[in-house]
Structure 1
Amino acid sequence: MARPVTNSAFEGLLSAAGYGNAHAAFARQLNHAGRNEGAWRYDAASVYWWLRGRRPGEHVQAAMAETIARRLGRSVAITELGFGAADSIGIYVYPASVDGAIDTAEQIWTRLAKHFNQHASGVFDSGKALEAALGWRYDLPDEAVSRNGRHQVTSTDVQSLYSLADHFTDLDRRHGSGSPRARAVMADFLVRQVAPMLRGTYTDAVGRDLMRAAATLAGQLAFMSYDAGEHAMAQHHVTLGLRLAKAGDDRLYGAHLLANLATQAVFMGHAREAARLVEAAIDGAGRAPAAVLARLHATAATAYGQSGERRACQLALARAERALDRAAGTDSGPRWVGYFSPAHLAGAALRCLGDLRLYTQALRHAPDALNLDSQNTRTRVLHTALIAMTHARAGDTNAACDWGRKLAQHAGGIQSARVQQRVRELITALNMQQASPEVNKLLHTLAGVPATR
């Protein structure tokens, strides 16, 4: 069933210019008008989505106005097209084309770079998340991604982007992502350097690698936004990253991003939607390396645990454990999955078994959950909070206080909305016992933990 038109202004201009029933013809003229921007491949489907709320980039709107103006014999202002301001647009929609993904990237990177000190509008939309999963899993692959733009892009240029992604990943793990300036610096680089590369000249092979690198950067920015509590912006970037990974023919990284989206859904309390997202990720990953499967099944376990599906949770945990055992001493898979260790799996087990109120089983994983590399500072704090919370829920107030003091000691140095949420959850769990002098003292200490800046 066709969706209703939401941009009546654009529809009216198309009709007045004789393109009302000739969307493909309009798209061809638009591609010709924008030839200096590179090899645009807009088609009738692009026009369909523009009429239904999708917002093209400013440069595309300028070409639209030029194309319509030639047919009408008068000037057409961009504001007449009805797309509105960039800051008011909802951009959860999974882009239908590579050009659409490039447009979307330019829009949201520019928005974040300009408004780094403002919270992104909107909330996590589980329905749009599932739509993105379906698009990534079932849309046909892109036949070609080569372009003819203003600047030549080489393999060396692309490799530098991977190095940058590694740098931001390391900073994120050590210090958290609560500071908006860290994300603003990254967004500014994406606007100034990566967006022009996406509109440059490259072969299909270089283009695929460029799409994969851009997906990696979008995915890292998404995770940083999620950690900072900017859930709308995080979802925007995961959706974008999924489309770029699709263009890059990288189904494994796409599955990884979809699992990240599931992790965000669990955090927001959308357990059943999270389970569907990670099931799509596992299905789409196919015969993936063992380390990738371990990560995916661990994420599935957390979703099942939150939704109370005990059998499915324990089965997913067992699959994750077997996969991680196979990964030991063998090819560890893509570079981005190297972070996932037995400690991360133990943290997932601690969480999902705790959600199922299997506290004794959950706490068996506590020692392994803290066996982390030194750079995983934030994960260590998150796992410490989980251990304290699990003891509190199990009724062991003394142990909860012991671990709560350790949490307070280290949480203040991490800028992370997720860490702050774990602190608040522990305070709530201990409030019933505040008559205890030990608990009351810890509650005052936790209340003094600095909030994310």
Structure 2
Amino acid sequence: MTNAAFEGLLLAAGYGNAHAAFARQLNHAGRDQGTWRYDAASVYWWLRGRRPGENVQVAMAEILTRKLGRLVTATEMGFGAADNAGACVYPPSIDGAIDTAEQIWMTLAKQLSPQVSGALDRGKALQAALGWRYDLPDATVSQKGRQQVTSTDVQSLYALADHFTALDRRHGSGSLRTRTLMADFLVRQVAIMLRGTYTDAVGRDLMRAAAMLSGQLAFMSYDAGDHGAAQRHVTVALRLAKAADDRLYGAHLLANLATQAVYLGHARDAARLAEAAIDGAGRAPAAVLARLHATAATAYGQSGERRPCQLALASAERALGRTGTERSPRWVTYFSPAHLAGAALRCLGDLHLYSQALGHAPDALTLDSENTRTRALHIALVAMTHARARDTDAACDWGRKLAQHTAGIQSARVQKRVRELASTLNPQQASPQVNEVLHALAAIPTAM
């Protein structure tokens, strides 16, 4: 289907048979943005329905305004508003992935959609899993652009990814400013590098680094409660991981998507995503397998499937026991016995096996000091499990600890667990100690 509005404007401006000339003008106009590498083929795909990013549309409108001698707006070009659901589609090509990545990063960087951007699209999540798992690998990712990209350039991106990850674990992701700053960096630096010149080897490393940064932004959006944005970021990260030929990080991203589905109550879809991650990871390092099986366990626990849940937990425990014997990817080193204990605490509690669940509580709290948010999440789990087991005294003790450990953390997930605990205790508010805890929980700041 042709974009008739855009085609008409190109014809009127003298670019009807000169798509390459229009692309050159666009590349020149975008030099302040970095390296744009559009050509006649890019114009062809825009005419056939592909939607360029907002900043690209602005530059297009400026070129057409000068040529036609009248104001041309981005709306007049017929691309329409950003389709949030459509942006969750797994890009079939590397160029499509780069275009999509730039578009969603720009949207966040410019705060073009300041409100929460929609719910998780479960159908598109499963489609992304299928695309990542079964699409053919990319023969090459080498490109030629204006800026040379080296291995040293890529290493700097890994360092930055580590920095944002540390900030997220310590403070949570509720601040829109933090996510906006990260997206702005992705637009101004990473998108430019993706459109640069690099060999296949450097390109795959670059795709991996970009996938990690986009994956981190996805997790931060999920933690902030912006589930539509989280899905868009993780979907493009999956495609970049595919281009990097990094099946392990792709499996990790898919497990993150499964974790998000569990959070939203879509247990069966979460189980499918987790199993697809395990299948796609293949003969993975033990730490990766431990994390993936733990995610599957939480999905099965939420859906009430006791046997699959217990089998997944056992697999995770066996894998974690082997982690000292082999090297693990940098991004999974966070997953510790405390994280597995937290998963066990959650899924066994969901199965109403409260005594077994609480047996994991001490280990769930043996976290490194930088895991501030995870500590709060696990304390809330312990309190909730006691409350569900009708041990009100213990639930109140842990509720007081939760109120003390949430200071400085901006996380929609933490806030949700605070509300769940308050709701569970609320029927007993006539009790002085319960009333005291409810007041302490209500005093926790909710501004995100």
Q: What's the TM-score, normalizing by structure 2?
A: 0.88
Please state whether the residue corresponding to 1:85 is helix, strand or coil.
coil
Whole-Å separation in 2 of the counterparts to 1:117 and 1:55: 17
- Cα deviation for residue 9 of structure 1 reads 3.8
SS state of the match for residue 322, structure 2?
helix
> C-alpha separation between the residues in 2 aligned to 1:284 and 1:381?
32
* Residue of structure 2 in register with 1:274 after alignment: 270
Task: Determine the C-alpha separation between the residues in 1 that align with 2:326 and 2:252.
Answer: 17
1:416/1:452 contact within 8 Å kept: no
- What is residue 105 of structure 1 aligned with on the other side? 101
Answer whether contact 2:3 2:47 (CA < 8 A) is retained: no
2:67 is matched with which residue?
Answer: none
In 2, Cα distance between the equivalents of 1:93 and 1:339?
Answer: 30
Out of 402, 413, 426, the position equivalent to 1:431 is 426
Counterparts of 1:129 and 1:28, CA distance in 2: 36
Matched with 1:360 is 355
| Alpha-carbon contact 1:116-1:183 (below 8 Å) kept | no
Q: 1:441 aligns with which of 433, 436, 445?
A: 436
The letter of the residue matching 1:302 is T
Distance 2:22 2:97 in 1: 17
Alpha-carbon distance in structure 1 between the residues aligned to 2:178 and 2:55: 28
Residue equivalent to 1:237: 233
> Is 1:301–1:313's contact at 8 Å kept on the other side of the alignment?
yes
Question: What is the CA distance between 1:187 and its match in structure 2?
Answer: 1.0
Q: Which residue of 2 aligns with 1:247?
A: 243
Equivalent position of 2:149 in the other structure: 153
Q: Which residue of 2 aligns with 1:284?
A: 280
Decide which of 299, 306, 310 is 2:302's aligned counterpart: 306
> Offset of 1:203 from its aligned partner?
0.9
Unaligned runs of 5+ in 1: 18-24, 69-74
Indicate whether 1:387 and 2:382 are aligned.
yes
Q: 2 CA distance for matches of 1:143 and 1:315?
A: 38
Report the residue type matching 2:51 in the other structure.
R
Structure 2 residue identity aligned to 1:253: Y
Aligned residue type for 1:147: Q
* Inter-CA distance 358–147: structure 2 relative to 1 (3 Å threshold): same
How far off its partner does 1:56 sit? 2.8
Which consecutive residues of structure 2, in runs of 5 or more, have no partner in the other structure? 29-34, 65-70
Aligned to 1:372: 367
Percent identity of paired positions between Structure 1 and Structure 2: 73
Q: Following TM superposition, by how much is the alpha carbon of 1:87 offset from its aligned partner in structure 2, in angstroms?
A: 7.6
- Report the 3-state secondary structure (helix = DSSP H, G, I; strand = E; otherwise coil) of the residue aligned with 1:91: helix
2:174 is matched with which residue?
Answer: 178
Separation of aligned partners in 2, 1:232 and 1:78: 24
Q: From the superposition, tell whether residues 58 and 438 of structure 1 become closer, same or farther in structure 2 (CA, over 3 Å).
A: closer
| Aligned mates of 1:257, 1:30 — CA distance in 2 | 38
Matches within 5 A, 1:117-196: 118-196=114-192
Letter in 2 for 1:418: R
Q: Counterpart in 2 of 1:21?
A: none
- Once the 2 structures are TM-superposed, how far is the Cα of residue 185 of structure 1 from its aligned partner? 1.3
Match status 1:317 vs 2:343: no
Q: Deviations over 1:176-216 (max 9, x none)?
A: 11111111111111111111111111111111000000000
Q: Which amino acid aligns with 2:345?
A: L
Q: Which amino acid aligns with 2:421?
A: L
How many residues align? The count is 435
Deviations 1:250-280 (A, max 9, x none): 1100000000000000001111111111111
How far apart are residue 146 of structure 1 and its match? 1.0
CA positional deviation for 1:333: 1.0
Report the CA distance shift for 1:174/1:78 in structure 2 as closer, same or farther (over 3 A).
closer
TM-score by length of 1: 0.87
**Once superposed, what is the RMSD of the aligned Cα atoms?**
3.3
Task: Tell me the CA shift for residue 417 of structure 1.
Answer: 0.6
Q: Report SS of the residue matched to 1:395.
A: coil
Question: What is the match of residue 57 of structure 1?
Answer: 53
Name the amino acid aligned to 1:171. Answer: L
Q: Answer yes or no: is the 8 Å Cα contact 1:50–1:56 preserved in 2.
A: no
User: What is the rounded CA distance, in whole Å, between the counterparts of 1:62 and 1:116 in structure 2?
Assistant: 14
**Would the alpha carbon gap of residues 51 and 89 (structure 1) be closer, same or farther in structure 2, given more than 3 Å must change?**
farther
Residue 31 of structure 2 corresponds to which residue in structure 1?
Answer: none
Residue 90 of structure 2 contacts residue 128 of structure 2 at CA under 8 Å; is this kept in 1?
yes
Going from structure 1 to structure 2, the CA distance change for 1:266 and 1:30 (only over 3 Å counts) comes to farther
What is the aligned partner in structure 1 of residue 261 from structure 2? 265
Matched, 1:412 2:442: no
2:81 aligned partner: 85
Deviation at 1:448, TM superposition (A): 0.6
Stretch of structure 1 that moved more, 239-248 or 408-417: 408-417
The alpha-carbon deviation at position 362 of structure 1 amounts to 0.4
Deviations 1:10-51 (A, max 9, x none): 79869x99xxxxxxx99999989989867769979x94x985
Q: Between 433-442 and 296-305, report the one with greater CA deviation.
A: 433-442
Work out the CA distance in 2 between the residues paired with 1:94 and 1:297: 24
CA distance in 1, matches of 2:184, 2:335: 29
1:287 aligns to what SS in structure 2?
coil
Deviations 1:79-132 (A, max 9, x none): 555212348674111111111111111111111111189223221111111111
Of residues 181-190 and 345-354 in structure 1, the stretch that sits farther from structure 2 once superposed is 181-190
Map of 1:203-222 to 2, 5 A cutoff?
Answer: 203-222=199-218
User: In structure 1, what residue type is equivalent to 2:337?
Assistant: P
Report the 3-state secondary structure (helix = DSSP H, G, I; strand = E; otherwise coil) of the residue aligned with 1:412. coil
Letter in 2 for 1:411: T
